[in-house]
Structure 1
Amino acid sequence: MKPIILYLSTATIFLVVDAIMLKTVMRPLFERYIADWLLEEPRLGAAAAFYLAYVAGLIYLVSWPALQAGDGGRALLQGAILGAVAYGTYEFTNYATLRNWSPVQVAIDTSWGAVLTGLSAWAGVAITRVLT
């Protein structure tokens, strides 16, 4: 039961918080630099595949080991590192290869990946500890 609670709580937090950030900060930021490249509506299947896989990887690599160790701080730190690496890979690759990509996009989205992933991992562990 613990893995299911851990996955569902982490995924819920990740999705809700990221949806808010995407609408209020990231969409306007991307419109500023690459508006003509953006779709009117996102491809939900691709987004769902990313979120399901990313949270599963986060659980496997970070949250489950931190839960087993009883160390929420470990989940926060290691989640933040994973988020910075994952989001940074996307951002730095785009910056290296796409003319209109901005260092502002790189800095904001890479930082956001670290914060979102670390906090989601920590909160998922905390919720799971309380509920089990």
Structure 2
Amino acid sequence: MTEDASLLTLFISSFLAATLLPGGSEAVLVGVLLAYPELLWPALNIATLGNTLGGLSSYLIGRLLPDEEALSRKIGRHVYGLEWTRRHGAPILLLSWAPLIGDILCVAAGWLRIYWPPALLFIAVGKFARYWLIAMAIN
């Protein structure tokens, strides 16, 4: 596979891995870096961009859900279970890279209407940190 095709594959896999769809992009990143070690920074940037955009799409899905007040009125009771996400706000999205809970955190942040610029920043930082650690582990 060419360098360009490898990076495109990395972008697509990192985007899809950050959505509610199952999948992982770590193996693709490792494969790209083993085949093309000189692509360290482009690969990190592309994987981070794809994964951040995927996380942001989950955030947007959460924004499309009725807000907590509207949902409470509709079902006739208060909705519990997201208090710690509300309490920590956007910084909790540093954990958006984590398997299983990361997608849920992004959706919850959108649902709770956490302001999107800090949410985007924390999603990107968390996702970059994970990819950087993986890259450093194989170098």
In the superposition, the TM-score normalised over structure 2's length comes to: 0.43
Looking at CA atoms only, which structure, 1 or 2, has the larger radius of gyration? 2
Structure (1/2) with the larger helix percentage: 1
